[in-house]
A = this chain, B = another copy of it.
């Protein structure tokens, strides 16, 4: 299943990736950057993309001055000391609020995962200097689809079988700091199921399902940074599991196995 002993995983940022604007064709820009960076995709490679550049290309920027605040959002904003317009967007993007405290609203996002503030982000989004209007960025509408679109263009151009993974950074319930995490993907496994495989002494493993796509997301996130690095694309060689079709629906826990919702 896993690649042979002594094998290596390599993750490299695309150094010459440009700033992305509303309406840009992300797949074409990635293809062009791979050429400039002299990276030749090979079968089994994975490209990891920060959600932010997908959201930008897909026009998911919202001007806060356009947001109508509902009574529900205003009430939650009062309780959490947050901008009521941002709270309105958080509610719009979520199925359910799970917890809140000042500065933080933990939700079940419409995309199926639990996260803080519906993944709505003020950082690394261009603000309008003249009007003083503030913008925020919503998550991509359908990150699996965004991944698939990029994958198809790259596979057609290179004639190689690759995977594409869209990641964000999430906090965790009981641990400090954020880690990179998958929010959508195409062409690679989400969860790798080892149940039934023998362990080192020949006993059958009973409970091992590896969230391979989240382990890869964390690895790639490490190389992207979060501040002003502008490195939203990571090229991965040596992903140790066979590529297959996959989708984010592999990742969220069923409610009946969820002890914390």
Contacts and interface: CB of A to CB of B under 8 A. Distances in A.
A228 B200 contact: yes
What range describes how many residues of A lie at the interface? 35 or more
Given A176-B251, A178-B208, A260-B260, A9 B6 contact: no
A203 B11 CA distance: 28
A191 B214 contact: no
Contact of A222 (B208, B215, B223): B215
A175 B214 contact: yes
Contacts of A5: 13, 15-16, 229-231
Max chain B CB contacts within 10 Å: which of A9, A37, A104?
Answer: A9
Contacts of A191: 176-177
A99 B259 contact: yes
Interface in A219-234: 219, 221-223, 225-231
A210 interface: yes
A23 interface: no
A242 interface: no
A7 interface: yes
A176 B250 contact: yes
Interface string A20-52: 000000000000000001000000000000000
Interface in A66-88: none
Contacts of A211: 172, 175-179
A126 B201 contact: yes
A15 B10 contact: no
B7 A12 contact: yes
A191 B171 CA distance: 12
A7 B223 contact: yes
Contact of A174 (B126, B190, B253): B253
Nearest to A202: B228
Given A124-B199, A200-B228, A240-B223, A252 B175 contact: yes
